[in-house]
Structure 1
Amino acid sequence: MNATLESAFAFAQAQVRALIAAYPADYYPMYTVHGKFGQDTKRWTHWCDGFYPGMMFLFAEATGESFWLDEAVKRSTPLEPRQYDRAVHDLGFLFFSTHLRWLELGGPEAHINALLDQAGKTMAMRFMEKGQYLRSFVEPASLFIDIMMNVGTIFQAGLRLSDEHLLAVAHRHCETTRRTIVRGDGSTSHEALFDLTSGECLRQSTHQGWRGDSCWARGLAWSLYGFTRTYQQTGRALYLQTAMANADYLLTQLPGGGVTTWDFDAPNQDIDSSGSAIAASGLLDLAAVCPDPVKGAAYRAWAIRSLELCCEQYLGDKTPGFEGILNGSIYHIHKNIGVHEACLFSEYFFVEALWKAIRPSAKPIPAVVTPYPEDSLPAQFKTWVDGPTEEDVASPVDGATK
C-alpha cells in the first residue's frame, strides 16, 4: 500500500466531484487558466473530450459506486457521433478512455462493439498508401507520434472482426512510425513529413517540441505507451522492443525517476508533468509484460517514484483554489496555452497510472447500476445505418496544432 498514491487518488475523486457540481453536464474541461476551468476556449479538434468521463469510469471501477458510472455514461454517449469523425486522428483518445472502459464494466456489448468497430474503420481511412502511415489532422503529408495512441482502435476492430485489411493498415503504420519517428537511441520526434508523390520520408519535424531533432517528452511518452499497447494487442515482439527502447531512453534522462521537462533537449527546461503521468502509466503496463525481470522492476520503480514526485510537488492541493488534479502540465508551450496548468490528458493518465499502481490484484465488482440497453440510447444513434449525414460529421478543423 502506498499512502501517497492512495491519497492522491482520493483527492482526484474529490476534484472531479467538484467539477461535476460546478459545471454543466455538456462541459468537457480541457485545461485550466490560472488554476480554473471554464476559460479553456481554444480546443481545435476536441481531442480531450473523452478524458473527463474516462476518469469517472476509472473511479467506477475502483469504488463500485453507481454515481461514477452514471456520470461517466451521461458524458460519454454525446461523443458517439464521433465514431464517424474523419477530421481527427484521436479516436483512441475519445473511445478507449470511455466506451472501452464502459464495455469492461458491463456496458451494452453489441452497441459498444459496433461503435468501436466503426471508430477503427474511420481511423483506417486516414491511411496514406504512399508512405504507409496514418496521416495527422494537420495535413496529408504529416505523421504524428500521437497517432500511436490511436492506432489501437484499428487493431481493436481488425482483431474482433478478423479483418485482414484493417490489421495490415495498423501494422504498416506502426512499422512506418518506428522507422521514421523513433530514433536509434529510443528517443522520438513529434512528426515525420512525407513526399506525397513518392511516399519518401523527407524529415522529422515538430509542432510541440523544441526542434525537429529534439525529444519532446510527451511525444516520447505517447510512443512508449502506444507501442506497449500494440504489443499487448498483437504480441509482435518488434513493438515490445520499441517500447523498451523508449523506456530505456527515458530512464537515461531521469535515471532515478522524476518529473519530465517539456523537451529533454531544450535549453529552457520547463517542467511538464504530463510527460511523467503518461510515461508512468505506460511503464506500469510495460513492466508487466517485459521479459527481463530486472528491467521490468526498474520500469515499475521509475513509474512509482515519478508518481510520488508528481504528488509531492504538483498535486493540485498545493495551490489554494486549484480546480485540477495535477498542476505543472503544458498543453502548447509555443502558443502559451495551458502552460504550468492542469491539462485533461495529463489528468486522465495521471489518474489511470495511480489506479494501476494501487489497484489490488482482484478488481472490485461494480455495484448494481442503472442499465443502459440500446433502447435507452438517443434515437439518432439507432437510426444511422450507413453512417451519418454530412451535417452529422464534425466540420474540418482549422490549421491549429495540438
Structure 2
Amino acid sequence: MPETITSEQRQAYDTALDFAEGQVAALVVNHPDYFPIYTVEGKWRHPGELWTDWTGGFLAGMMWRFQQRTGSAAWQERAEHYSKLLEHRQHDRNVHDLGFIFLNTYRPWYQLTGDPQLQEVLIQAGRTLAMRFQEKGQYLRSFVAPESLFIDIMMNVPIIFYAGQEANDPALLAVALAHCDTTARTIVRPDGSTAHEGIFDLETGEFLRQTTHQGLRDDSAWARGLAWSLYGYSQVYGFTQDAQHLEIAERNARYWIDHLPADNVPYWDFDADLTLPPPRGAQKDSSAGAIAASGLLDLARQTESPDKAAEYQRVALAMLDALVSPAYLAASDAGWEGILKHGVYHTDKNLGVDESVMWGEFFFVEALTKAVMAR
C-alpha cells in the first residue's frame, strides 16, 4: 500500500466493519442456512427470481473476512458451516460463477488450515468451470447460452489458474489464458471500457458482436461489468505476472477514474442519462463502487508506477469514504437488513434495484478489511 489510512478513516472503517458483523450475525439467526441475493425494501427474504444462483460464496466469504480481522473462533465456525453448505457446487456445471463461490470460501479456509481435502474441492471447482470452454472461439461460455461470453467470467477464471497451478495441469492453464486473451480481444475496448457480453458463431468460433443484459446499451459502459474486468485482470496478473494482464487492468482503472462522478460513487452505467430518474437514469450502484475499490487497492500494490499506485489508492479510499457515510451505510436505517444501500442487481428485470446486494456487501467488507489490515 503506498500510504496508510488516516486515523479518522481507520475509525470509520472499523465502525463500518463492526456494523457489518452485526448485520451478518442477525442474517444467520433470522434466515438460517439461507443464501440471499438482494433485498426487497431492505429485507433479505425476496420473493422475486434469482436469475442465476451465483452469490453463496459472498455470504460465507464475509464470515471468513471477519475471522481474518478478529481471529474470532465463532466467525470461523460460522464460515466453515456456510462454506460446507456450498461444497456440492464444486460439480455445478450450470453456472460460470465457481470462482465467486469457492475462491472466497474454500481458499481462505485452506490457507488457514492446510487441510488437503479443502484443496481438492478448489481444484475440482476449477476443473468443473473449465468444462465450459468452447474450443471454437476459445472462451468460457456464460450460463445463458453456449455462444455467450460474459465480462463477469473474468472474476471466475482465476479459479482455473489456481487449479492449474496447484495441480500442475498445463491444460487448465491453457484454457484460462485463452479465455483471458479472447475477452481482451472482443469485449474489453481500447478506451478501457467493457461490454457485458460477446456473441460468437458456434460453427466457426468467429466473434460476432458486443451485447448486454444489464447495461444501458450494447455499446455502453455498464459500471459493474467494468469493475469485474478491472478486478478480474488484476487477479489474473497475480497468477501470470504477464504485463499484458496488468495493462488491461490499468486501462480499466483509467476509464473508471476518468469517468467517476464527483461524489465518488458510480452510476449503474457510465453512459446513463442523468436527466432521467432511476432505475434507467440517475441510479447509483454502490456495489460496483465496492468491487472497484477492492480491485484498486490490489492494483495499487501491483503497478510499477508509484504515481499510479498513489492514485489508485486515493480513489479507492475516496470511494470507501463515500460508502461508509450515512448516505450508503445502512447503520441508521432501523429494520434494514443489509449493510450497503443503493446497490443494483438487474435493472431491466427490476431485481434488487436501489437495494442491498450480496456482492456489494462482500466486496465492501473485503475492501475495508484490506484497508484496515494493510501494513
TM-score interval (norm. to shorter): over 0.9
The equivalent of 2:368 in structure 1 is 354
* Cα distance, 1:185–1:204 mapped onto 2, change above 3 Å: same
**Pairwise mapping of residues 3-402 of structure 1 onto structure 2 (< 5 A)?**
3-24=11-32, 26-106=33-113, 108-254=114-260, 258-267=264-273, 268-312=281-325, 313-361=327-375
Corresponding pairs, count: 359
Q: Which runs of 5+ in 1 are unaligned?
A: 362-402
Matched residue SS, 1:324: coil
* Cα distance, 1:339–1:70 mapped onto 2, change above 3 Å: same
> What amino acid is the match of 1:222?
W
Structure 1 residue 269, shift from structure 2 partner:
2.5
Structure 1 residue 256, shift from structure 2 partner:
5.6
Tell me, in whole angstroms, the C-alpha distance in 2 between the residues paired with 1:257 and 1:196. 44
Tell me, in whole angstroms, the C-alpha distance in 1 between the residues paired with 2:284 and 2:31. 29
Tell me, in whole angstroms, the C-alpha distance in 1 between the residues paired with 2:285 and 2:47. 18
Q: Which shows bigger deviation, 177-186 or 12-21?
A: 12-21
In angstroms, what is the RMSD of aligned CA positions? 1.1
8 Å contact 2:28–2:34 — kept in the other structure?
A: no
Structure 1 residue 284, shift from structure 2 partner:
0.3
Q: Which runs of 5+ in 2 are unaligned?
A: 1-6, 274-280
Tell me, in whole angstroms, the C-alpha distance in 2 between the residues paired with 1:310 and 1:218. 16
Tell me, in whole angstroms, the C-alpha distance in 1 between the residues paired with 2:150 and 2:357. 20
Tell me, in whole angstroms, the C-alpha distance in 2 between the residues paired with 1:212 and 1:235. 31
8 Å contact 1:189–1:212 — kept in the other structure?
A: yes
Tell me, in whole angstroms, the C-alpha distance in 2 between the residues paired with 1:257 and 1:173. 35
* Cα distance, 1:236–1:41 mapped onto 2, change above 3 Å: same
| TM-score using structure 1 length | 0.87
Matched residue SS, 1:67: helix
Tell me, in whole angstroms, the C-alpha distance in 2 between the residues paired with 1:324 and 1:249. 30
8 Å contact 1:154–1:166 — kept in the other structure?
A: yes
* Cα distance, 1:319–1:234 mapped onto 2, change above 3 Å: same
8 Å contact 2:237–2:246 — kept in the other structure?
A: yes
> What amino acid is the match of 2:19?
F
8 Å contact 2:110–2:116 — kept in the other structure?
A: no
Structure 1 residue 344, shift from structure 2 partner:
0.2
Q: Which runs of 4+ in 1 moved over 2 A?
A: none
Matched residue SS, 1:339: strand
Matched residue SS, 2:324: helix
Structure 1 residue 255, shift from structure 2 partner:
6.8
Structure 1 residue 257, shift from structure 2 partner:
6.5
Query: Per-residue CA shift, 1:365-395, capped at 9, x if unaligned?
Result: xxxxxxxxxxxxxxxxxxxxxxxxxxxxxxx
> What amino acid is the match of 1:305?
A
Matched residue SS, 1:105: helix
Tell me, in whole angstroms, the C-alpha distance in 1 between the residues paired with 2:200 and 2:243. 27
Tell me, in whole angstroms, the C-alpha distance in 2 between the residues paired with 1:257 and 1:72. 34
Tell me, in whole angstroms, the C-alpha distance in 2 between the residues paired with 1:21 and 1:255. 38
Tell me, in whole angstroms, the C-alpha distance in 1 between the residues paired with 2:317 and 2:262. 11
8 Å contact 1:228–1:243 — kept in the other structure?
A: yes
| TM-score using structure 2 length | 0.94
8 Å contact 1:30–1:40 — kept in the other structure?
A: no
